[in-house]
Structure 1
Amino acid sequence: MPPRLNIPPITRILLLLLLFQSFLSGAIRYSQWNGKNDIVVPYLVMVPQLSLIYPWTFVTTTLVENNLFTLGLSAATIFYGGRYLERAWTSKDFAKFLLVTTLIPNVLCFGFLVVMFAVTTDMSWTLTTINGTIPLQISFLVAFSQLLPAHTVTLFKGIISLRVPRFPLLHVIAVTVLAVMPLLSAASFFLVVTGFLTSWTYLRFYKAAFPDLETSQPSSLRGDASETFAFSEFFPDLAKPYVAAFADQVYNIFVALHICTPFSAANASGSRGDVVMQRLTPGSARAEAERRRALALKALDQRLHAASAAGKPKTTAPPPPAVAGPSVQIQPQPNVQAPGSMLGETSYVPEREEEKDAH
């Protein structure tokens, strides 16, 4: 008997919608095809000149693919990436992430195409179709960069070895080249760029963080102030100082416009008020990341104990002995299956900052 696929609910819904809408769009286009003109379905996909009367297309267009190759790629992205992220977070947080990274890039892409039409007066800009899972693909890669910043992906038996935060920029470059060739539409370029910026901004500043269960720390903390998730970390080492300087200026403008809120002391104690968030105390960013992962594992462990205790008779056990000395937090990994089947073979080499400090 083949093993049963355990797919979380939101990921399962995404897969079903992707297959249903893609095949429905294909069937409609095939039935109306005359061999001369391209057929679009404006009530399923977003076309700036035709779809304004169908506002739901700002969301549905992301889950429509026009050919079998991109459909297979999109299904694999949602199956492996969605399953991993939904288990690492919760279904509620994953649904919020999907809504943000789907709606905002589509709206921004719509606006860019309208602006290009206003500048060039070329009607083809407003007849460009906006569809496909490109915003989800780049957003998942950004999320992996946050969750697995130190993991290394090895391809072709060690010939190519890249850290996970390198993949979002490579994906942006690949889509840009395909759009210039042009194997992809101009809308694909706008989608991948806005999807990259939207997903990083949301995870960096707005996504709810796990509360500290051992202190009176408020549960309303948001964002990720760790230096391993700074915007410059997506770029090569030579470009990092220039990207960081530019990002600082953009961040200051966004703070002045009240688009972004500076991190509080609870979010980033000891960090300076810029987008790079370099710590004043050596190793404090790493400690912050370790604390967040420890809290995530602790919360998951409590859920598992609660579920197992529900099916067992209650027994009294002596309290654990108190451990003298300050508490030490380690760096656990989320209790989920790493997306090795999608990203390739992975290896993790932890940093040895503690050993260096000891010497």
Structure 2
Amino acid sequence: MAPRLNIPPITRIALIVLVFQSTLCAGIRYQQSSAEAVLVPYLALVPQLSLIFPWTFLVTTLVENNVFTLAIAVLTLFYGGRYLERAWTSAEFARFLLIVSLIPNLITFGTLVALFAITGDVNWTLTSINGSIPLQISFLVAFSQLLPAHTVTLFRGVVSLRVPRFPLIHILAITILSLTRLLSVASFLLVTTAFLTSWTYLRFYKSSLPDLESSQPSSLRGDPSESFAFAEFFPDPVKPTISAFARQVYDLLVALRICTPFSAADISASRGESMMQRGGGGARAEAERRRAVALKALDQRLSAATGGPSPKPSGPPPSAQPSVQVQAQPNAPPEMLGETSYVPEREDGKQGP
């Protein structure tokens, strides 16, 4: 008997909508094929044509133009969506999808209209804004938060990269492709705005998962941990410059009351000071605490979904004796990241947003 896929509900719905809309859009383009590109403004967002179809600002993210990009989108949702929905909750994952789809589409729409107003070139407003690029980069940012100290080994060890390096690589790849005819300028706008949107939401606004091993309040929002600072996405030589610039932007946003500054209690909780007192140790303790919380919540939800008993912890807390083996959960698919390993970083006391 074939194994059951057991896809969470929001991920399942997103996959169905993605395949249905992409297939429908391809069929319409095939029937109306001509020398010029065929636009479908009631499915894909086109600035000049889609204002009378307001739902396109959301659903256009789940419309792909060809089989290759559709396959990438399906894999992104199937592996990334399953992992994140189980690690968070269906409601939180749905909220995340809504935010990282709608806001980048709105910003890209406004940018193309502004370019038309400046240049007078109507082609800006006839550029189709569609595709799962915002979801791809946003999922990479979310994995950078959940697995900040892990590395991915590719090509039999030839390439080894920490998870927070992948968002920047993805942005560079989309930028290069946008300079060719393979992708439009809308793709570049989508990937950059989605990167900033997803990081801002996870950094300052997302409700934090309560620490099951401590009295951390469940009302805590955002993630003030040093491992998720904006500069951590960039190579070491440019980190000081990026950190200084990010600090200036952060101070400006706080002054405008767009962002709420983190309290001392929030920063203390993110650093896992209680574990440091037990010998956890800085960035390593922080990374282990975050991983243990996510995996424990994931185990409980999987047990509840399958009707089995909830796993009971035995021995010392996971943060006291970190073990790489806990990553090999059969129902939590880290394999989508390739071969991973845990590499704790030195504690350098970096600060910043």
Q: Is the 8 A contact 2:292 2:319 kept in 1?
A: no
Structure 1 residue 250 corresponds to structure 2 residue 249: yes
| Unpaired runs of at least 5, structure 1 | 273-281, 311-319, 354-359
Cα drift, residue 344 of structure 1: 2.1
The 3-state SS of whatever aligns with 2:246 is helix
| Unpaired runs of at least 5, structure 2 | 272-279, 348-353
The 3-state SS of whatever aligns with 2:126 is coil
The 3-state SS of whatever aligns with 1:263 is coil
Equivalent residues in 2 for 1:40-79, closer than 5 Å: 40-79=39-78
Letter in 2 for 1:170: I
Q: Counterpart of 2:338? A: 344
Q: Counterpart of 2:210? A: 211
Equivalent residues in 2 for 1:194-343, closer than 5 Å: 194-213=193-212, 217-269=216-268, 283-284=281-282, 286-299=284-297, 308=308, 329=320, 337-340=332-335, 342-343=336-337
- The size of the alignment, in residue pairs, is 330
Structure 1 residue 10 corresponds to structure 2 residue 34: no
Structure 1 residue 82 corresponds to structure 2 residue 81: yes
Which 10-residue stretch deviates more, 230-239 or 328-337? 328-337
Q: For residues 214 and 147 of structure 1, do their structure 2 counterparts lie closer, same or farther at Cα, with a shift above 3 Å needed?
A: closer
Q: Is the 8 A contact 1:116 1:125 kept in 2?
A: yes
Q: Is the 8 A contact 2:104 2:197 kept in 1?
A: yes
Computed over aligned residues only, the root mean square deviation of the Cα atoms, in angstroms, reads 2.8
Q: Counterpart of 2:132? A: 133
TM-score, normalised to structure 1's length? 0.84
Cα drift, residue 136 of structure 1: 0.2
The 3-state SS of whatever aligns with 1:12 is helix
The 3-state SS of whatever aligns with 2:268 is coil
Distance in structure 2 (CA, Å) of the matches to 1:160 and 1:114: 41
Q: Counterpart of 1:146? A: 145
Identity of matched residues, %: 68
Letter in 2 for 1:12: R
Deviations 1:280-331 (A, max 9, x none): xx95455444444444455456667875469xxxxxxxxx9xx9xx997555
Q: Is the 8 A contact 2:285 2:319 kept in 1?
A: no
Q: For residues 32 and 303 of structure 1, do their structure 2 counterparts lie closer, same or farther at Cα, with a shift above 3 Å needed?
A: closer
Distance in structure 2 (CA, Å) of the matches to 1:165 and 1:137: 14
Report the structure number with the largest CA radius of gyration.
1
Q: For residues 181 and 298 of structure 1, do their structure 2 counterparts lie closer, same or farther at Cα, with a shift above 3 Å needed?
A: closer
Deviations 1:187-238 (A, max 9, x none): 0000000010011111111111122456654321011111111111111110
Q: Is the 8 A contact 1:293 1:331 kept in 2?
A: no
Q: Is the 8 A contact 2:86 2:298 kept in 1?
A: no
Structure 1 residue 173 corresponds to structure 2 residue 168: no
Q: Counterpart of 2:116? A: 117
Q: For residues 28 and 303 of structure 1, do their structure 2 counterparts lie closer, same or farther at Cα, with a shift above 3 Å needed?
A: closer
Distance in structure 1 (CA, Å) of the matches to 2:257 and 2:189: 25
Distance in structure 1 (CA, Å) of the matches to 2:179 and 2:96: 29
The 3-state SS of whatever aligns with 2:153 is strand
Cα drift, residue 5 of structure 1: 1.3
Q: Is the 8 A contact 2:146 2:290 kept in 1?
A: no
Between Structure 1 and Structure 2, the one with more helix by share is 2
Q: Is the 8 A contact 2:147 2:287 kept in 1?
A: no
Distance in structure 2 (CA, Å) of the matches to 1:302 and 1:19: 31
Cα drift, residue 350 of structure 1: 3.9
Cα drift, residue 339 of structure 1: 2.8
Deviations 1:233-252 (A, max 9, x none): 11111010110011011111
Structure 1 residue 23 corresponds to structure 2 residue 23: yes
Q: Counterpart of 1:92? A: 91
Cα drift, residue 79 of structure 1: 0.7
Cα drift, residue 116 of structure 1: 0.9
Distance in structure 1 (CA, Å) of the matches to 2:300 and 2:4: 26
Cα drift, residue 38 of structure 1: 1.1
Letter in 1 for 2:231: S
Which 10-residue stretch deviates more, 300-309 or 342-351? 300-309
The 3-state SS of whatever aligns with 2:236 is coil
Cα drift, residue 155 of structure 1: 1.2
The 3-state SS of whatever aligns with 1:126 is helix
Letter in 2 for 1:233: E
